[in-house]
Amino acid sequence: MRRILMVSTMIAILLSISVFAALAAGKPPEKGEVLPVISLPIPRNPEERNYLGLSGSGLFKIPQIKARAVIVELFSMYCPFCQKDAPGVNELYRLIENNPDIKNKVKLIGIGAGNSPYEVEVFKKTYDVPFPLFPDKDFVIHKVCGEVRTPFYMVVRIDENGAHRIVHIQLGEYPGAEPFLELVLKASGLK
Protein backbone atom coordinates (compact mmCIF):
# COMPACT_ATOMS: atom_id res chain seq x y z
CA MET A 1 0.00 0.00 0.00
CA ARG A 2 2.80 2.34 0.98
CA ARG A 3 4.67 1.48 -2.22
CA ILE A 4 1.60 2.11 -4.34
CA LEU A 5 1.17 5.49 -2.71
CA MET A 6 4.81 6.41 -3.31
CA VAL A 7 4.62 5.45 -7.00
CA SER A 8 1.29 7.25 -7.49
CA THR A 9 2.67 10.37 -5.88
CA MET A 10 5.71 10.37 -8.14
CA ILE A 11 3.54 9.89 -11.23
CA ALA A 12 1.25 12.69 -10.12
CA ILE A 13 4.17 15.02 -9.54
CA LEU A 14 5.62 14.19 -12.96
CA LEU A 15 2.22 14.81 -14.57
CA SER A 16 1.91 18.19 -12.93
CA ILE A 17 5.43 19.16 -13.98
CA SER A 18 4.51 18.37 -17.58
CA VAL A 19 1.32 20.39 -17.21
CA PHE A 20 3.24 23.38 -15.87
CA ALA A 21 5.69 22.99 -18.71
CA ALA A 22 2.81 22.97 -21.18
CA LEU A 23 1.31 26.02 -19.53
CA ALA A 24 4.63 27.84 -19.79
CA ALA A 25 4.93 26.95 -23.48
CA GLY A 26 2.25 29.46 -24.35
CA LYS A 27 -1.36 30.16 -23.72
CA PRO A 28 -3.15 32.83 -25.72
CA PRO A 29 -2.01 36.29 -24.59
CA GLU A 30 -4.51 38.15 -22.47
CA LYS A 31 -5.30 41.77 -21.77
CA GLY A 32 -3.35 43.09 -18.83
CA GLU A 33 -0.47 40.70 -19.29
CA VAL A 34 3.05 41.32 -20.39
CA LEU A 35 3.62 40.33 -24.03
CA PRO A 36 5.12 36.85 -24.53
CA VAL A 37 8.79 37.09 -25.50
CA ILE A 38 8.79 37.54 -29.28
CA SER A 39 12.10 38.08 -31.07
CA LEU A 40 12.01 39.46 -34.58
CA PRO A 41 14.81 40.34 -37.00
CA ILE A 42 15.63 44.04 -37.30
CA PRO A 43 14.46 44.91 -40.84
CA ARG A 44 17.12 45.47 -43.47
CA ASN A 45 14.88 47.91 -45.31
CA PRO A 46 15.88 51.41 -44.07
CA GLU A 47 12.32 52.74 -44.31
CA GLU A 48 11.07 49.97 -42.07
CA ARG A 49 13.95 50.48 -39.63
CA ASN A 50 13.15 54.18 -39.42
CA TYR A 51 9.45 53.47 -39.02
CA LEU A 52 10.15 51.20 -36.04
CA GLY A 53 12.92 53.39 -34.62
CA LEU A 54 15.44 50.56 -34.72
CA SER A 55 19.08 50.45 -35.72
CA GLY A 56 21.85 47.94 -36.04
CA SER A 57 21.32 44.30 -36.90
CA GLY A 58 20.19 41.15 -35.20
CA LEU A 59 17.00 40.67 -33.27
CA PHE A 60 14.67 43.01 -31.46
CA LYS A 61 11.76 42.62 -29.10
CA ILE A 62 8.46 44.38 -29.69
CA PRO A 63 8.74 46.70 -26.63
CA GLN A 64 11.95 48.07 -28.17
CA ILE A 65 9.95 49.66 -30.97
CA LYS A 66 9.98 53.43 -30.59
CA ALA A 67 6.31 53.95 -29.87
CA ARG A 68 3.77 54.38 -27.14
CA ALA A 69 1.57 51.67 -28.62
CA VAL A 70 2.26 48.83 -31.05
CA ILE A 71 -0.51 47.02 -32.88
CA VAL A 72 0.54 43.46 -33.68
CA GLU A 73 -1.46 41.42 -36.16
CA LEU A 74 -0.82 37.68 -36.21
CA PHE A 75 -1.92 36.75 -39.72
CA SER A 76 -1.35 34.15 -42.41
CA MET A 77 -1.14 34.47 -46.17
CA TYR A 78 -3.38 31.39 -46.24
CA CYS A 79 -6.04 32.86 -43.98
CA PRO A 80 -9.10 34.12 -45.89
CA PHE A 81 -10.14 36.31 -42.99
CA CYS A 82 -6.72 37.98 -42.90
CA GLN A 83 -6.99 38.54 -46.65
CA LYS A 84 -10.38 40.16 -46.17
CA ASP A 85 -9.09 42.40 -43.36
CA ALA A 86 -5.96 43.50 -45.22
CA PRO A 87 -7.35 46.63 -46.92
CA GLY A 88 -8.90 47.75 -43.64
CA VAL A 89 -5.65 47.26 -41.74
CA ASN A 90 -3.81 49.22 -44.44
CA GLU A 91 -6.34 51.97 -43.89
CA LEU A 92 -5.56 51.91 -40.16
CA TYR A 93 -1.90 52.49 -41.00
CA ARG A 94 -2.82 55.43 -43.23
CA LEU A 95 -5.07 56.99 -40.57
CA ILE A 96 -2.20 56.84 -38.10
CA GLU A 97 0.43 58.15 -40.50
CA ASN A 98 -1.80 61.01 -41.63
CA ASN A 99 -2.36 62.20 -38.07
CA PRO A 100 0.61 64.25 -36.83
CA ASP A 101 -0.52 63.83 -33.19
CA ILE A 102 -0.22 60.06 -33.21
CA LYS A 103 2.02 59.35 -36.18
CA ASN A 104 5.15 58.73 -34.10
CA LYS A 105 3.33 57.16 -31.21
CA VAL A 106 1.45 54.24 -32.74
CA LYS A 107 3.11 51.59 -34.87
CA LEU A 108 1.78 48.57 -36.72
CA ILE A 109 3.45 45.24 -37.51
CA GLY A 110 2.28 41.90 -38.85
CA ILE A 111 3.62 38.43 -38.08
CA GLY A 112 2.87 35.66 -40.61
CA ALA A 113 2.15 32.54 -38.56
CA GLY A 114 3.62 29.54 -40.38
CA ASN A 115 4.50 31.70 -43.37
CA SER A 116 7.88 31.63 -45.07
CA PRO A 117 9.55 34.90 -46.12
CA TYR A 118 8.37 34.20 -49.67
CA GLU A 119 4.77 33.74 -48.54
CA VAL A 120 4.85 36.91 -46.44
CA GLU A 121 6.18 38.76 -49.47
CA VAL A 122 3.31 37.45 -51.62
CA PHE A 123 0.82 38.74 -49.05
CA LYS A 124 2.64 42.08 -48.85
CA LYS A 125 2.64 42.52 -52.63
CA THR A 126 -0.92 41.28 -53.15
CA TYR A 127 -2.38 43.69 -50.62
CA ASP A 128 0.25 46.43 -50.94
CA VAL A 129 0.88 46.32 -47.20
CA PRO A 130 2.71 49.49 -46.15
CA PHE A 131 3.90 48.36 -42.70
CA PRO A 132 6.54 45.78 -41.72
CA LEU A 133 5.61 42.11 -41.93
CA PHE A 134 7.67 39.31 -40.41
CA PRO A 135 7.63 35.59 -41.25
CA ASP A 136 7.16 32.96 -38.53
CA LYS A 137 7.89 29.96 -40.75
CA ASP A 138 8.08 27.31 -38.06
CA PHE A 139 5.19 28.60 -35.96
CA VAL A 140 7.61 29.47 -33.13
CA ILE A 141 5.95 32.80 -32.35
CA HIS A 142 2.54 31.30 -33.01
CA LYS A 143 3.21 28.63 -30.36
CA VAL A 144 4.44 31.21 -27.86
CA CYS A 145 1.16 33.02 -28.45
CA GLY A 146 -0.85 29.94 -27.60
CA GLU A 147 -1.47 28.85 -31.19
CA VAL A 148 -4.25 31.37 -31.64
CA ARG A 149 -6.33 31.39 -34.80
CA THR A 150 -5.88 34.28 -37.18
CA PRO A 151 -6.22 37.17 -37.59
CA PHE A 152 -5.28 37.87 -33.99
CA TYR A 153 -4.76 41.50 -33.02
CA MET A 154 -2.80 42.60 -29.94
CA VAL A 155 -2.27 46.18 -28.79
CA VAL A 156 0.80 46.66 -26.61
CA ARG A 157 1.20 49.84 -24.59
CA ILE A 158 4.82 50.81 -23.95
CA ASP A 159 5.62 53.20 -21.14
CA GLU A 160 8.49 55.66 -21.16
CA ASN A 161 10.48 53.51 -18.76
CA GLY A 162 10.18 50.58 -21.20
CA ALA A 163 7.58 48.67 -19.21
CA HIS A 164 4.83 47.30 -21.39
CA ARG A 165 1.45 45.63 -21.15
CA ILE A 166 -1.13 44.16 -23.54
CA VAL A 167 -4.06 46.57 -23.43
CA HIS A 168 -6.28 44.94 -26.02
CA ILE A 169 -6.63 41.62 -27.80
CA GLN A 170 -9.05 40.64 -30.51
CA LEU A 171 -9.58 37.54 -32.61
CA GLY A 172 -10.97 38.47 -36.01
CA GLU A 173 -14.05 40.72 -36.14
CA TYR A 174 -12.02 43.68 -37.31
CA PRO A 175 -14.44 46.59 -36.97
CA GLY A 176 -12.83 48.87 -39.56
CA ALA A 177 -9.96 51.30 -39.36
CA GLU A 178 -11.62 54.20 -37.56
CA PRO A 179 -13.35 52.23 -34.81
CA PHE A 180 -10.23 50.15 -34.28
CA LEU A 181 -7.99 53.21 -34.06
CA GLU A 182 -10.38 54.74 -31.53
CA LEU A 183 -10.14 51.57 -29.49
CA VAL A 184 -6.33 51.52 -29.72
CA LEU A 185 -5.99 55.13 -28.62
CA LYS A 186 -8.34 54.69 -25.67
CA ALA A 187 -6.79 51.40 -24.55
CA SER A 188 -3.25 52.75 -24.71
CA GLY A 189 -4.11 56.00 -22.92
CA LEU A 190 -3.36 58.19 -25.90
CA LYS A 191 -6.88 59.57 -25.79
Partner 1 sequence: MNKKTVLHFILITGALSLFVLTPMAFGLSDAYRGNIYQVGTLKPIDSVLRVKVGDRAPDFTLPSVSGQKVSLSQFLGKKNVVLSFVPAAWTPVCSDQWPGYNVARDLFNQCDATLLGITVDNIPTLFAWTNQMGQLWFPVLSDFWPHGAVAKRYGVLRANGVSERALFVVDKKGIIRYIDVHDINKRPPLEDLMGALEKLKKGD
Give dist(CA 100, CA 115) in Å, integer. 33
Binding status of residue 172 toward partner 1 by CB under 8 A: yes
Instruction: Report how many residues bind partner 1 under the rule CB under 8 A.
Output: 37
Q: Does 90 bind partner 1 (CB under 8 A)?
A: no
Figure out which of the listed residues 40, 65, 74, 77 binds partner 1, where binding follows CB under 8 A. 77
Q: Does 57 bind partner 1 (CB under 8 A)?
A: no
Query: Is the four-CA dihedral 25, 28, 33, 35 of positive or negative sign?
Result: positive
Residue among 29, 63, 110, 114 that touches partner 1 (CB under 8 A): 114
147: contact with partner 1 by CB under 8 A: yes
**149: closest CA among 173, 171, 167?**
171
The window from 57-65, 77-85, 87-95, 97-105 that contacts partner 1 (CB under 8 A) reads 77-85
Q: Which stretch binds partner 1 (CB under 8 A): 35-43, 57-65, 67-75, 146-154?
A: 146-154
Q: Under the criterion CB under 8 A, does residue 88 sit at the interface with partner 1? A: no
Residues 6+ apart with CB under 8 A from 101: none
Contact 114, 139 (CB under 8 A): yes
DSSP string, 134-175: EEETTSHHHHHTTT--SSEEEEEEE-TTS-EEEEEEEES---
HSE value, Cβ hemisphere, 13 Å, CA-based, for 36: 20
Q: Which of 19, 34, 37, 59 binds partner 1 (CB under 8 A)?
A: 19
Q: Which stretch binds partner 1 (CB under 8 A): 41-49, 60-68, 99-107, 169-177?
A: 169-177
Query: Interface with partner 1 includes 25 (CB under 8 A)?
Result: no
Strands (E), the chain: 39-41, 59-61, 69-75, 106-113, 133-136, 152-158, 164-171
Sites of contact with partner 1 (CB under 8 A):
5-6, 8-9, 12-13, 15-16, 19, 22-23, 27-28, 76-80, 83-84, 113-114, 116, 118-119, 122-123, 126, 137, 146-150, 171-173
